[in-house]
Chains A and B, each alone.
Chain A
Amino acid sequence: MTDPPTLVTQIGQVFARDAVQFLRQRAVVLRIALLPVLYVAIAFVTPSVLSQHQGSAAQPQLRVSTTAAVAATPFGQFLRSLPGYRVDVAASPRQRVSRDEADLAVVATASGGVTLSFDPERERSRLALAITSASAANFNLVQTLALLPAEQVVTARQALLQAQPRSIRGRDVRKLATLGSLLGFALLAFIARSSNALAIEKDRRTAEALLVLPLSSAAIVLGKAAHQLAQAATTSVIAIAAAIVGGQVAGADYHLNHSAAALVLTMVDMLTVAALLIATGALIGTLVRGVTESAVWTSFAALPMVAAAVTLPFIESPAAWLRWLPFFGQFRGMQDALTGTPSWVHEADVGTVTAALVVVLLALATRWLRSDNAVLRATT
């Protein structure tokens, strides 16, 4: 007695089949769970820890030279109050500020060698960045201290929101490039795992037995993608938890917004990016002959994503359409959410574009899964 299953049931069947097989690889499951913890440690915690061991003092080294007039302002007093920070009231030889503007000018000489001069009212962002780079010796925008707009000292997070530093020079470029590359490699893992979910069926010679079943192509593609997305969701939760706990353990106070809305938005960003990567991987998986070929194509597919991750943060004034661009949009969304201004509208914008791309990629994968070329690649 047979009763043809619905599409949803079929998706569930494929999902369960893949999930059981995955969970039976305990060592692999453990390593995958550990991976986001290691990535977070490398990307965020390690630089902070290392920066604290630079120089003789335990505190980050920051030397700020300014004029007496500025030192007398609330900002100058604020700088003086910071432990481990030195404020020299003598004018720096590298000071390039006209005397007319002296009371508004500050020259920050970072311990990393970055020297910037600027008008604090007009170029608040560059001051924020200079202090950030000096204090944390890493690209940690959240830890930015900004010049006070007038009379009060605001918290680092509020200052960042006002400053929105985008101008990045010197060591920070390299640091950001490193972080971008790291992010790119982390993204690679999602594409690779998704494409391997199909490619490995070909290597294990189980693809033919799967394709000959009356399961719809959409059920096979979506079932596998759903399993990968479930893994990505788990990974995202671990990554966020690791970032929060790791930051506390390492003594790096990132002033992150830990509100439920911010964390949910961050999760949404991570999952929409993961969904796009998984859909890309699914398409690759239908076209390749096996895991080896899948690895090659995954590397090629990741190239533009790595390039975007590395270059987009350097764009000083991003065009409005960039906010809609997947990856960049989610990067900004996560940044906004974690630094205090979560935006559901922005999330909906970039989420819509990403979802449309995901649908297109999965539709192509579904269409090609049982094409003659794909079947021949799966079975020969």
Chain B
Amino acid sequence: MTDDPAIRVVDLRKRLGTRDVLRGVDFSCRGGRHYALLGPNGAGKTTTLRIVAGLLSCDAGEVVVAGESLATRARAAHRHRIGYVGEDSGLDARLTVREVLRFVAGAYGVRRPDPAIDALGDELHFGEYVERRCGALSKGTRQKVAIARALIHDPAVLLLDEPTANLDVDASLAVETALASDSLRRRTVILSTHRLDEAERLCDSVIGLYEGRVFVEAVIADVAAEASGAPDFRRGFVALLNSQRVGATAL
């Protein structure tokens, strides 16, 4: 863990169509810590993650990863530092797990991917399925493979966009177990989620987004205090979010 921010997002702005999705997002993430990106639908969570991942460009602002700005660094080089897992596992149904992971490893230039694949299979508990086609896997296992795909090149930063959305309880728990594994604990993780309980279990800090702006950036344990007297993190976060909604209505 270091004091230098692993990710720094400065005044990020993005307009999609006629809507200002991001209106000046600022936050920073320290190395080796886990951050929950929370907010209602349309708050700008996915857009923020996609910009940080280098999938989308921003209209204004800056994204700095490990001291280097995305604006000055080649996108391909930027992607080497980041692992990204979307809401959908995005696995090729006709390929086996090993073939998918080999392809991704090849794209990152990993020289000998098989030991890494086997190690990730053991750690994330999908080792027995590596020779099976992805189309035959359960949703939970697919999502675990998607996480392994994002880790195959050993990135410093992992971005997870609602990895447990649309999963049943068992699958969600399986993914949560994967997220709590040692491989992830040592990386900087931003986890976009709607689930406050998940954020509380898996993350150290929270970044709250509402209508394209950050309204809270705090350690999980401090959120209740910031909400002036809320009994716990969840109620504290909801209180802070509601104060934003009241403010927006008043405006």
Chain A residues engaging chain B, CB cutoff 8 angstroms: 1-5, 9-10, 13, 16-17, 20-21, 24-25, 204-216, 370, 372, 375-376, 379
* A204 and B93 contact, CB distance less than 8 A: yes
CB distance from B96 to the nearest CB of A (A): 10
B103 at the interface (CB under 8 A from A): yes
* B106 and A375 contact, CB distance less than 8 A: no
List of A residues within 8 angstroms of B89 by Cβ:
205, 209
* B109 and A3 contact, CB distance less than 8 A: yes
* B108 and A212 contact, CB distance less than 8 A: no
How far apart sit A4 and B105, CA to CA, in the bound complex (Å)? Answer: 10
Q: A212-B54, A375-B56 are in contact. Are A3 and B111 (CB under 8 A)?
A: yes
List of A residues within 8 angstroms of B77 by Cβ:
214
* A13 and B55 contact, CB distance less than 8 A: no
B153 at the interface (CB under 8 A from A): yes
Partner of A20, one of B54, B91, B99: B99
A-B contact pairs, 12 of them (CB 8 A): A2-B80, A2-B111, A5-B107, A25-B94, A204-B92, A209-B86, A209-B90, A213-B108, A214-B108, A370-B75, A375-B50, A375-B55
8 Å CB interface, B58-101 against A? 75-77, 79-80, 84, 86, 88-95, 99
* B56 and A372 contact, CB distance less than 8 A: yes
B246 at the interface (CB under 8 A from A): no
List of B residues within 8 angstroms of A375 by Cβ:
50, 55-56
List of A residues within 8 angstroms of B50 by Cβ:
375, 379
CB distance from A142 to the nearest CB of B (A): 43
* A4 and B76 contact, CB distance less than 8 A: yes
B248 at the interface (CB under 8 A from A): no
Q: A21-B95, A25-B94, A208-B90 are in contact. Are A213 and B107 (CB under 8 A)?
A: yes
List of A residues within 8 angstroms of B103 by Cβ:
13, 16-17
List of A residues within 8 angstroms of B107 by Cβ:
5, 10, 13, 213-215
How far apart sit A209 and B84, CA to CA, in the bound complex (Å)? Answer: 8
How far apart sit A375 and B92, CA to CA, in the bound complex (Å)? Answer: 18
Partner of A206, one of B57, B91, B111: B91
List of B residues within 8 angstroms of A372 by Cβ:
16, 56-57
How far apart sit A3 and B112, CA to CA, in the bound complex (Å)? Answer: 11
Partner of B79, one of A10, A208, A212, A376: A212
How far apart sit A213 and B104, CA to CA, in the bound complex (Å)? Answer: 7
Q: A2-B80, A21-B94, A25-B94 are in contact. Are A376 and B16 (CB under 8 A)?
A: yes
Which among A17, A209, A211 has the greatest number of chain B C-beta atoms within 10 A? A209
CB distance from B98 to the nearest CB of A (A): 12
List of B residues within 8 angstroms of A25 by Cβ:
94
Q: For residue A13, which residue of chain B has the nearest CB?
A: B106
B34 at the interface (CB under 8 A from A): no
B157 at the interface (CB under 8 A from A): no
How far apart sit A207 and B91, CA to CA, in the bound complex (Å)? Answer: 10
B53 at the interface (CB under 8 A from A): yes
How far apart sit A209 and B88, CA to CA, in the bound complex (Å)? Answer: 9
Partner of B92, one of A13, A21, A215: A21
* A209 and B99 contact, CB distance less than 8 A: no
CB distance from A262 to the nearest CB of B (A): 39
Q: For residue B14, which residue of chain A has the nearest CB?
A: A372
List of A residues within 8 angstroms of B95 by Cβ:
17, 20-21
How far apart sit A210 and B91, CA to CA, in the bound complex (Å)? Answer: 10
Partner of B108, one of A2, A210, A370: A2
For the A-B complex with A2-B108, A209-B146, A379-B86 known, give 10 more contacts whose Cβ atoms are closer than 8 Å.
A2-B80, A2-B153, A5-B109, A24-B94, A25-B94, A204-B90, A205-B89, A206-B91, A212-B54, A372-B16
The 5 closest A-B pairs by CB, nearest first: A209-B90, A205-B88, A214-B76, A214-B79, A2-B109
* A208 and B106 contact, CB distance less than 8 A: no
Q: For residue B146, which residue of chain A has the nearest CB?
A: A209
Q: For residue A3, which residue of chain B has the nearest CB?
A: B109
B167 at the interface (CB under 8 A from A): no
How far apart sit A17 and B153, CA to CA, in the bound complex (Å)? Answer: 19
How far apart sit A4 and B112, CA to CA, in the bound complex (Å)? Answer: 13
Q: For residue B86, which residue of chain A has the nearest CB?
A: A208
* A212 and B55 contact, CB distance less than 8 A: yes
CB distance from A18 to the nearest CB of B (A): 9
How far apart sit A204 and B142, CA to CA, in the bound complex (Å)? Answer: 14
B171 at the interface (CB under 8 A from A): no
* B93 and A212 contact, CB distance less than 8 A: no
B184 at the interface (CB under 8 A from A): no
Partner of B110, one of A2, A17, A207, A210: A2
List of A residues within 8 angstroms of B92 by Cβ:
17, 21, 204, 206
B187 at the interface (CB under 8 A from A): no
How far apart sit A69 and B226, CA to CA, in the bound complex (Å)? Answer: 113
Q: For residue B93, which residue of chain A has the nearest CB?
A: A204
List of B residues within 8 angstroms of A16 by Cβ:
103
B213 at the interface (CB under 8 A from A): no
How far apart sit A379 and B91, CA to CA, in the bound complex (Å)? Answer: 14
How far apart sit A16 and B106, CA to CA, in the bound complex (Å)? Answer: 11
B13 at the interface (CB under 8 A from A): no
List of A residues within 8 angstroms of B94 by Cβ:
20-21, 24-25
* A205 and B108 contact, CB distance less than 8 A: no
How far apart sit A370 and B79, CA to CA, in the bound complex (Å)? Answer: 13
Q: For residue A216, which residue of chain B has the nearest CB?
A: B76
B139 at the interface (CB under 8 A from A): no
CB distance from A2 to the nearest CB of B (A): 4
List of A residues within 8 angstroms of B90 by Cβ:
204-210
